[in-house]
Structure 1
Amino acid sequence: MNRLISTALLLLITIYMSACNNKLQVDLIVHHAKVYTVNADFSTEEAFAIKDGKFIAVGKNDDILKKYSGGKIVNAENRAIYPGFYDAHCHFFGLAAGMHQVNLVDVASMDELVARVIAFRSKYPDDAWIIGHGWDQNKWKNKEFPDNSRLNETFPNVPVFLERIDGHAALANDKALTIADVKADKYLAGGLVEQKNGKLTGILVDNAMNLVQEKIPSPTPEKMVTMLKEAEKACFSVGLTTLADAGLEKEQIELLHDLYRRKVLTIREYAMIMLNPSTLDQILKKGIFKSESLDIRSFKIVGDGALGSRGACLLQSYSDAPTNGFLLRSPQELDSAIKKIANSDFQLNVHAIGDSANRLILNTFNKYLKGKPNKRWRIEHAQVISPGDFEKFSLSSLIPSIQPTHATSDMNWALERLGSQRLKYAYAYKQLLKKAGKVALGSDFPVEDINPLYGFHAAVARTDKNNQPVGGFQIENALSREEALKGMTIWAAYACFQEDARGSIERNKLADFVVLENDIMQSPLNEIRNVKVNATYVGGEAVFKR
């Protein structure tokens, strides 16, 4: 009898072992999750298997666990999982540099600004320049641009250059202006060297900023790599796995090529080349570059300035100043570049904030894209649109690349700049979606915070970090949660020609995903910004765990 029992037990063990051996071997299995696949049906699943950096199966817990076995098996404990978050418009190099500069975000006065600069200088007394970023005079009691008198008193012998939050204006002290040989009678197209009573105030707007910026020493390549790794770590901690870097110079592109070749960086990059007319033909001839980690197939043009610094180009004067803003390039130069790029395989993405700049770019895009489907050209920001121009997004399948946190950051002063009639057609994300069919969501960091959940919250609730205003700012232009999630995953990937490889959790796509502690598709609106990232994975490998 015992012998029969032993034989039966051995048979059962043999059958079990055979079943296990018949399972397909994978690298990672994640089960008991709520998986937002963001596929065509926007379905949810429970589990998935990963091999060689890609999803190979997505389905129910029992199906995945019965069919696959892996070196790593993760019980997600019913947490929500999403495709890796995609920032469709950001500045990775700017974030990296900003982490080593004076942080002036949310300073409430010139007194506080100077105090932060002094504290920074005491920490880094040997730096040749003092560089800072993030001030916004619209948050001060006196909303006028500051002047540099306090900086001149405090730092008479050290050059100081402090960028405004939007990156389209800066405050420089006299020492920096002297080094750059900036004079009171200086004129240049697409920029402003502000002066009062014949004296420089230190305020430089748009193209005028370049006069000083080109004199600031660049960090060494070694230091830049360290800074980029720090920025990458910060991105992973908030669930970002792919970045569309909106405007890089030749040297930055070359550095990225080297870093990805040597596998120094893990985060995926869609690099936009900042347009330089002198090198345009050379780059077009060289052609696009595409890999799993780095894509270079688009140009970035900055068409106008920003609303906060009154540089955005408007059809009519600002409501609070006798200026229309300005274009940063002439219409003729824009037309010439757009025509050349339209005859290539490259994508073109143009920064346009004011309704005049948007009209010019929309008209020129449609002029050269007739009969050229699937170019996926983008309007970056698409912030203020004249009512009759929304329709122009649909003519050539143009993509609005929007940053929802800009709406909630600007809403307290945008009425002063635009007046009530124009404001109705500003930050009109739902209206843009209806005409374009897709919107790509980004943050524009470091102009705004890097956390993509802040943008998700701003898109669906249209309120700020304090959940104000009650009922939301121009709530008719809020996106649904499904639309917002698509905008920061599959639509963002589509806007970069990457929807076949990422943007959703589907078979044969790159295994980039993020695990959240709470489900943003179900959480109360006022709790979304507080949701934490539990883990971030790139290519099936954990790059961040809380």
Structure 2
Amino acid sequence: MKKILPFLLLVVAACKQKQPNADLLVKNARVYTANSNFAIATAFVVNGGKIIAVGTTEELEKRYDARQVLDAGKKAVYPGFIDAHTHFYDYGLSLQQVNLAGTASWTQIIDSVLTFSKLNPDGWLVGHGWDQNHWPVKQFPNKAKLDSLFPDRPVLLSRIDGHAAIVNQAALNIAAIKPGQTIAGGQIETVNGKLTGVLLDNAVGLVEHKMPGPNEEQIQNAFINAQNNCFAVGLTTVDDCGLDYHLLANISQLQNERKLKMRLYVMLSDKPENYNYLFKRGIIKTSHLNVRAFKVYADGALGSRGACLLQNYTDQKNWKGFLLNTPDHFKEVAAKIAGKGFQMCTHAIGDSANRMMLKIYAGILKGKNDKRWRIEHAQVLAPEDIQLFGQNNIIPSVQPSHATSDMEWAIRRLGPKRIKSAYAYKQLLDQNGWIPLGTDFPVEDINPMYTFYAAVTRKNLAGWPLTGFQTDNALSRKEALLGMTLWAAKANFEEQEKGSIEPGKYADFVILDQDIMTVNAADLPKVRVMKTYVNGEKVYDRN
């Protein structure tokens, strides 16, 4: 009996050791941790939605008995991708509208709208995604055909950048827009005393404010549909740039019901009601929602010639674009945001808009700081203004796909001299030593592989130009990956909780079918997501 008792104690002890001590072991992988050393591991362990250990497969298999084991089969694993600039909710809404992205002519757009109208016979006809720069005749369209097809049904079709739209007469009538009417920060196009239906920037709002808002079902579908598409391309956090505060209730409800698992960094729009709400409420921070920033628009877009330039557009005489509000307004909101301790994020495309905002920021920030105020896009810059980013720790939040989408026509807008300091991502990276990357979807495709490819090759998806576009401003693969992970998290004040595969951080990660750090550059756009995890939970599986 004395011999049996120690044996039984050993059996009990062994059984206790085999009790699961983790939720998930990911092993047999090539794990790009994106930590401070940019270390590569072969395994990591997840428990309670967070990473608790990173190391080798052999080491972690000995230390942990996980409830679930994921053998990655030598595939590359990365931190969940973070898109630092999106219009996530608007993208979701656009999935319920006429998709005009990639249309090659005004005739093709008319055909698309007509087909959609037959399937959706009631209400406004709304579409998004046309770009006249890709048509044989690179001019804004005219509403005449829309008027003949839809004399009584209002139509609004937004340009790809969201800064221009064409509407029909029925929509103009609802908004009471007349020939010759003007609006600050916008343009109502009139030719020979007649409205063409083309509206730029603030003028688009005259019509949009008359449109019925989406119902609760459409709002929910927008968030869920956008989420599902984003998970399929490896996104686990997105920055939604410019929402109204009332949508936060929808987001919170969907997240509490675990229908919306996407992590959201939300910037509220530049409106009095949004300031009043967040100033009274304070920063909103949960594991899946972070609201501490405001999105301000300084100017329009280069493609629709609304970007505010220091000198005239090369392809339009006596035209420099325009600001969307007065300099005094931007100074006032900057002081107000700073006084309340929030982050300011300003859309600035043209060199004039960028100069104005950089100087306003500098006047508030007064040199080195950790406020992480952002310039969204920072697209066209006077060379002498670039140093203002580093001097005041202003963060340029850029979208590499914009460079490769715009390059064919951007030189026509800017000429050979100004184009040299446009889309200057490497120079901007050097200012602070880090730079967040995004897509601006639905302006660009949601796929972060396209962001990575554009950043490192400076080529479009057709592989043009063969030698790349202004490749002195290309990023390395390491820089591009950090821009989509740790640096994007840092732009959101979230680098301590996400953006790398390290103990203590959320278990957000993605497994790809090819290693983007080593695969042939031409094959980068073909890389596909195999699995996406948020909080250690699988949210997408290609199989």
TM-score by length of 2: 0.96
Equivalent residue number for residue 35 of structure 2 = 39
CA contact (8 A) 1:400 1:436 kept: no
Could you give the per-residue CA deviations for residues 404-444 of structure 1, whole angstroms, max 9, x where no partner exists? 00001001100100000000000010011111221110000
Equivalent residue number for residue 500 of structure 1 = 496
SS in 2 for 1:162: strand
Aligned partners of 2:56, 2:274: CA distance in 1, in Å? 52
CA contact (8 A) 2:103 2:130 kept: yes
Equivalent residue number for residue 217 of structure 2 = 222
Aligned partners of 1:17, 1:213: CA distance in 2, in Å? 69
Aligned partners of 1:174, 1:282: CA distance in 2, in Å? 37
For the structure 1 residues 435 and 371, does the alpha-carbon distance in structure 2 shift closer, same or farther, using more than 3 Å as the test?
closer
* Residue of structure 2 aligned with 1:188, choices 183, 195, 213: 183
Aligned partners of 2:230, 2:273: CA distance in 1, in Å? 34
CA contact (8 A) 2:178 2:195 kept: yes
SS in 2 for 1:411: helix
SS in 2 for 1:349: strand
What letter is aligned with 2:170? K
Say whether residues 1:256 and 2:244 are aligned partners. Answer: no
For the structure 1 residues 403 and 247, does the alpha-carbon distance in structure 2 shift closer, same or farther, using more than 3 Å as the test?
same
Q: CA deviation at 1:76?
A: 0.4
Q: CA deviation at 1:533?
A: 0.3
Say whether residues 1:174 and 2:169 are aligned partners. Answer: yes
Equivalent residue number for residue 326 of structure 2 = 330
Q: CA deviation at 1:280?
A: 2.4
Say whether residues 1:197 and 2:195 are aligned partners. Answer: no
Equivalent residue number for residue 447 of structure 2 = 451
Equivalent residue number for residue 435 of structure 1 = 431
Say whether residues 1:386 and 2:382 are aligned partners. Answer: yes
CA contact (8 A) 1:277 1:337 kept: no
Equivalent residue number for residue 209 of structure 1 = 204
Equivalent residue number for residue 413 of structure 2 = 417
CA contact (8 A) 1:131 1:162 kept: yes
What letter is aligned with 2:155? V
Aligned partners of 1:137, 1:256: CA distance in 2, in Å? 35
For the structure 1 residues 325 and 64, does the alpha-carbon distance in structure 2 shift closer, same or farther, using more than 3 Å as the test?
same
Q: CA deviation at 1:12?
A: 12
CA contact (8 A) 1:47 1:61 kept: yes
* Residue of structure 2 aligned with 1:406, choices 393, 402, 408: 402
Could you give the per-residue CA deviations for residues 123-176 of structure 1, whole angstroms, max 9, x where no partner exists? 212x20110000000001111111111111111121110000000000001111
Could you give the per-residue CA deviations for residues 21-51 of structure 1, whole angstroms, max 9, x where no partner exists? 1676100101000000000000100001100
Equivalent residue number for residue 234 of structure 1 = 229
Equivalent residue number for residue 365 of structure 1 = 361
For the structure 1 residues 199 and 311, does the alpha-carbon distance in structure 2 shift closer, same or farther, using more than 3 Å as the test?
same
Q: CA deviation at 1:13?
A: 12
Equivalent residue number for residue 3 of structure 1 = none
Could you give the per-residue CA deviations for residues 482-527 of structure 1, whole angstroms, max 9, x where no partner exists? 0000000000000000000000000000000000010000111110
What letter is aligned with 1:198? G
Equivalent residue number for residue 317 of structure 1 = 312
Q: Which stretch has the larger CA shift, 12-21 or 158-167?
A: 12-21
CA contact (8 A) 1:89 1:246 kept: yes
Q: Which stretch has the larger CA shift, 424-433 or 225-234?
A: 225-234
SS in 1 for 2:408: coil
Say whether residues 1:293 and 2:288 are aligned partners. Answer: yes
CA contact (8 A) 2:390 2:432 kept: yes
Runs of 5+ consecutive residues of structure 1 not aligned to the other structure: 1-6
Q: CA deviation at 1:279?
A: 4.8
Equivalent residue number for residue 484 of structure 2 = 488
What letter is aligned with 1:210? G
For the structure 1 residues 11 and 32, does the alpha-carbon distance in structure 2 shift closer, same or farther, using more than 3 Å as the test?
farther
Could you give the per-residue CA deviations for residues 354-399 of structure 1, whole angstroms, max 9, x where no partner exists? 0000000000001011267210000000000100001000112111
C-alpha root-mean-square deviation of aligned residues, in Å? Answer: 1.8
CA contact (8 A) 1:83 1:489 kept: yes
CA contact (8 A) 1:23 1:67 kept: no
Equivalent residue number for residue 60 of structure 2 = 64
Equivalent residue number for residue 303 of structure 2 = 308
* Residue of structure 2 aligned with 1:150, choices 145, 148, 162: 145
Equivalent residue number for residue 278 of structure 2 = 283
Name the % identity.
48
Q: CA deviation at 1:77?
A: 0.3
Say whether residues 1:244 and 2:239 are aligned partners. Answer: yes
Equivalent residue number for residue 114 of structure 2 = 118
What letter is aligned with 2:110? V
What letter is aligned with 1:116? S
CA contact (8 A) 2:93 2:218 kept: no
CA contact (8 A) 1:23 1:68 kept: no
Aligned partners of 1:391, 1:12: CA distance in 2, in Å? 73
CA contact (8 A) 1:298 1:346 kept: yes
Equivalent residue number for residue 339 of structure 1 = 335
* Residue of structure 1 aligned with 2:100, choices 80, 93, 104: 104
SS in 1 for 2:89: helix
Aligned partners of 1:128, 1:473: CA distance in 2, in Å? 44
Equivalent residue number for residue 273 of structure 1 = 268
Would you say how many aligned residue pairs link Structure 1 and Structure 2?
A: 538
Q: CA deviation at 1:18?
A: 1.4
Equivalent residue number for residue 24 of structure 2 = 28
Equivalent residue number for residue 4 of structure 1 = none
Aligned partners of 2:61, 2:9: CA distance in 1, in Å? 19
Aligned partners of 2:166, 2:248: CA distance in 1, in Å? 28
What letter is aligned with 1:51? N
Q: CA deviation at 1:118?
A: 0.9
CA contact (8 A) 2:143 2:196 kept: yes
Q: Which stretch has the larger CA shift, 321-330 or 492-501?
A: 321-330
Aligned partners of 2:420, 2:127: CA distance in 1, in Å? 34
Could you give the per-residue CA deviations for residues 79-107 of structure 1, whole angstroms, max 9, x where no partner exists? 00000000000011111111011111111
Equivalent residue number for residue 529 of structure 2 = 533
Aligned partners of 1:463, 1:218: CA distance in 2, in Å? 39
* Residue of structure 1 aligned with 2:155, choices 153, 160, 168: 160
Aligned partners of 1:332, 1:84: CA distance in 2, in Å? 40
SS in 2 for 1:115: helix
What letter is aligned with 2:323? L
What letter is aligned with 1:267? M
Aligned partners of 2:45, 2:146: CA distance in 1, in Å? 58
Could you give the per-residue CA deviations for residues 47-92 of structure 1, whole angstroms, max 9, x where no partner exists? 0110000000000011110000111101100000000000000011
Aligned partners of 1:119, 1:463: CA distance in 2, in Å? 34
Q: CA deviation at 1:257?
A: 2.6
SS in 2 for 1:56: strand
